[in-house]
A and B are shown apart, each in its own frame.
Chain A
């Protein structure tokens, strides 16, 4: 029998056992839809990270004192991760020499020196200990990824002014803090000139306070002038970040007299590296989600196999008839393989459809990050093609054994079957 005739008979079989076919198809639909939906979440997360990469500028490089050999993830401005071998921050400092060394690197566009510490903040009779960050206000606006909601960022001419986080302005103290209000920080008065946007920047903290570096030295009295907690630099757009990082390390090694890795007492990390690390984590999450969804696809496959065994049993007499009128084993085999393959591909197509719908719904805000942003979901063509391919393969392989059994039936025995 010609192959397309076998397909025709298989289609006839599928359409004449609608309920069972549909129940089986549902199994595959669920499997494929969950693969598409879950992987789209994973892909969306990766795409989101990549978005942030361009938004944050991958060309931000942060230098902090201290070094951990087990240097894993680090956030800019948070110091090195606290590995067992880390050099404590009090031992290592960043200072003028380091800044001078950095200035000699032509690929760097801006150099922002920061200090950070805790200070008592008074407002309307209430006080709280909050983190204050001193920034070099002459370059800060070029370096920072923070976005302003009201007012402005710091100006080079500013003195005794602050930019504060969104949460601090809205609901931290009894009274909201508006533009031009005065905060008292360690007995000095600061005028609020800017309020940051909610959730702006990657590591933003809604309770942050930013002020000019010189003011911060006055407020944070355990800090020494010309010593910094971190230095944030921006590479020129054209520069290759990894080689700039290498260059920075080379320069700093010289000024800090670092000869071996054991002497190393500072950490250079680029936003690019951080994002790459996050990317690899989200990649693993995608893989994991895909794996979980794959299990439901496997359950769907077992469903197909089960249905096909039933179908072969139920069609035993018809197999006998077909053999009596000239069907070869191969024909019977193909008919049942097409049957299960059809169930697979129909389930796959419907599953892709529902998967895309589900991923749009998930992306449309049903699911959100703790920060309240909706998670973007991305359905890639690759995953759609892959899902369809897998559902056909699953269908056919699940039908393999039942189809073989059916094809091996002896005509007399099959004809006697009632």
Chain B
């Protein structure tokens, strides 16, 4: 596994939201380098800019100032449609609110990103089945999100994220809506995946216990990085 290869560069990134006349700086000059195989936890108080940073890393938004280089490509230079397919292939999202499509079954939800990538149906459905088995939901594939518990929904969303075999997994408070036991299960699932597959994971969390799984912890305050701490991986 070629570690140490730079995957993502944030160079003096600013994000300023305009609320009418008022300008809200959510990020103030963030500079981070993320290497392949990193497991990073972003911590900080509510409103400190964690989600804003995740959205920028995930190419869901573009910075007001500064540059973001994803695999040496400046994301501000890509057009909508290139950005969308680049994002689809490179990045997998896990959201706090699961964000499943409510009218689609677990299986269909997992299939969806593969369908956007126009992957052959046979391959895609085998892949989806395998991943759903990995997250322990092989007997729930035809359930709609509303028929699943929160933990099960989050596992579907993890399956959807992993289905495309993304290089970077972005998880914004993935356990925020779950009880601590379920939350721990979810994190361990991610951790196992990180260990086995050598994926890059960036996770936002409030929970210090969960942050411990990461080997780098970045702490944000008022849009600035106030601490970067390297964990001895246990």
Interface of A with B (CB < 8 Å)?
A: 1-2, 5, 12-13, 16, 317-318, 320-331, 410-412, 415
Contact = CB atoms under 8 A, between A and B. Distances in A.
Interface string B69-85: 00000000000110011
A330 B85 CA distance: 12
B49 interface: no
A323 B102 CA distance: 16
B206 interface: no
6 contacts: A12-B108, A322-B116, A323-B60, A328-B84, A329-B84, A411-B61
B33 interface: no
B81 A322 contact: no
Given A13-B103, A415-B60, 4 more contacts: A317-B99, A324-B99, A326-B116, A411-B60
Contacts of A326: 84-85, 87-89, 113, 116-117, 164
B163 to A, nearest CB: 9
Contacts of B115: 1-2, 5
Interface of B: 55, 58, 60-61, 80-81, 84-85, 87-89, 92-93, 95, 99-104, 108, 112-113, 115-118, 160, 164
A321 B88 contact: no
Contacts of A331: 116
Given A5-B115, A412-B55, A323 B84 contact: yes
A16 B116 contact: no
Contact of B116 (A1, A318, A411): A1
Mostly, the A contact residues are helix
B85 A328 contact: yes
A323 B113 CA distance: 9
B137 to A, nearest CB: 18
Nearest to B161: A325
Given A321-B101, A324-B87, A325-B112, A330 B81 contact: yes
A12 B81 contact: no
B17 to A, nearest CB: 10
Contacts of B118: 1-2
